[in-house]
């Protein structure tokens, strides 16, 4: 009986692994065909100055709408793209789309705000990445100061000397470089002092319970204090409530991003968001008024 159960369990496990594997293969095949097509598009989420409430910039987030699979979330297709190496052509397409969008806004005299693009470790492994970015930007008559880059810890831990040089090159051209998902990766903090980054993005895992969990609050306070000493700006991810915003403002976090301000929106809604920067300001004014 036990033996039978064991075998059943094994078969169940096997079946689950098979499903996951074939799903992975299906996504990979479909993604291979989607790259370069209009199935891939962008959404933009505003970043907000937590003191003034003003919109400071956007983060570009990749979206994929497949004719049969529907909208596939980046949480599903980005890992597949990274494992298969498809992230390199996909990342190139996303970079090009961000630059084209900025150039289009520039032509239409939309007031520009910098746009941050996520860079996967594999993309950042290529030493010509900064040159490629600047080449694309200049082809579109775009100043690289409108481009920011979000890299994760794993991206440069591979080869820190070269990563520092690449970050330097990007920044010398006027781009900003952020360390994404800070706190979720390696726990070795000593590298931070060698990294010429502009800001750390504190992962939403620490923001989620910040107003109710004293440990999370302590961790964020620690990160903010350390960043201040190192002269690095701080950006909090995943702000969803006024309580979280209150905490982060009081702790002195510079900027934030989250559904409380705005979900990621299609490109054609960015102009309205930019023009409503006063609207954005109301978010923090309300909180300030409440706090008094």
Between 74 and 252, CB nearer to ligand C2E: 74
Angle at 127 between CA 130 and CA 125, to 5 degrees: 105
Residue 284 touching Mg ion (CB under 5 A) = no
Helix or strand (DSSP H, E) at 180: strand 176-182
Comparing CB distances to Mg ion, the nearer of 53 and 258 is: 258
Tell which one of 43, 150, 216, 246 touches Mg ion (CB under 5 A): 150
Cβ-contact 34, 66 below 8 angstroms: yes
Partner interacting with residue 258 (select from ligand C2E, Mg ion, none; CB below 5-8 Å by kind) = ligand C2E
Of ligand C2E, Mg ion, none, which one sits near residue 78, judging by CB under 5 to 8 A according to partner kind?
Answer: ligand C2E
Output the smallest distance, CB 75 to ligand C2E, in A: 5
Which among 27-35, 114-122, 190-198, 251-259 is the span making contact with Mg ion, rule CB under 5 A? 114-122
Cα–Cα distance for residue pair 99/116, rounded to 1 Å: 11
Binding status of residue 153 toward Mg ion by CB under 5 A: no
Q: Does 56 bind Mg ion (CB under 5 A)?
A: no
Asked if 179 and 200 touch (Cβ cutoff 8 Å), the reply is yes
Chain contacts with ligand C2E (rule: CB under 6 A): 45, 61-62, 73-75, 78, 91, 94, 118, 120, 150, 180-181, 204, 237-240, 257-259, 264
Nearer to ligand C2E (CB atom), residue 13 or residue 117: 117
| Least Cβ distance, residue 265 to Mg ion (angstroms) | 16
**Minimum CB distance to ligand C2E, residue 90 (Å):** 7
What angle is formed at CA 246 by the lines to CA 269 and CA 277, rounded to 5 degrees? 25
What minimum distance in Å lies between the beta carbon of 140 and ligand C2E? 18
Q: Kindly state whether residue 180 participates in binding Mg ion, applying the rule CB under 5 A.
A: yes
């Amino acid at each position: 009986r036990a033996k039978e159960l064991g075998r059943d369990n094994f078969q169940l496990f096997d079946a689950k692994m098979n499903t996951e594997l074939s799903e992975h293969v299906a996504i990979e095949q479909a993604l291979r065909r989607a790259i370069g097509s209009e199935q891939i598009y962008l959404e933009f989420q505003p970043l907000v100055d937590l003191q003034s409430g003003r919109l400071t910039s956007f983060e570009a987030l990749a979206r994929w709408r497949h004719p049969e699979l529907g909208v596939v979330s980046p949480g599903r297709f980005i890992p597949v793209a990274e494992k298969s190496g498809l992230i390199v052509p996909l990342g190139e397409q996303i970079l090009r789309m961000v630059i084209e969008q900025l150039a289009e806004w520039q032509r239409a005299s939309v007031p520009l705000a910098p746009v941050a693009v996520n860079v996967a470790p594999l993309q950042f492994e290529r030493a010509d990445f900064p040159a490629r970015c600047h080449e694309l930007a200049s082809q579109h008559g775009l100043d690289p100061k409108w481009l920011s880059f979000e890299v994760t810890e794993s991206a440069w831990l591979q080869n820190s000397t070269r990563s520092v040089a690449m970050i330097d090159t990007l920044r010398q051209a006027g781009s900003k470089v952020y360390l994404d998902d800070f706190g979720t990766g390696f726990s070795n903090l000593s590298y931070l002092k060698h990294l010429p980054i502009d800001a750390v993005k504190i992962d939403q895992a620490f923001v989620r319970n910040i107003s109710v969990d004293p440990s999370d609050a302590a961790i964020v306070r620690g990160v903010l204090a350390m960043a201040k000493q190192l002269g690095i700006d701080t950006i909090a991810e995943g702000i969803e409530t006024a309580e979280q915003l209150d905490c982060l403002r009081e702790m002195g976090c510079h900027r934030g991003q989250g559904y409380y301000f705005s979900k990621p929106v299609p490109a054609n809604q960015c102009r309205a968001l930019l023009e409503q920067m006063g609207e954005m300001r109301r978010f923090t004014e309300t909180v300030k008024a409440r706090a008094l």
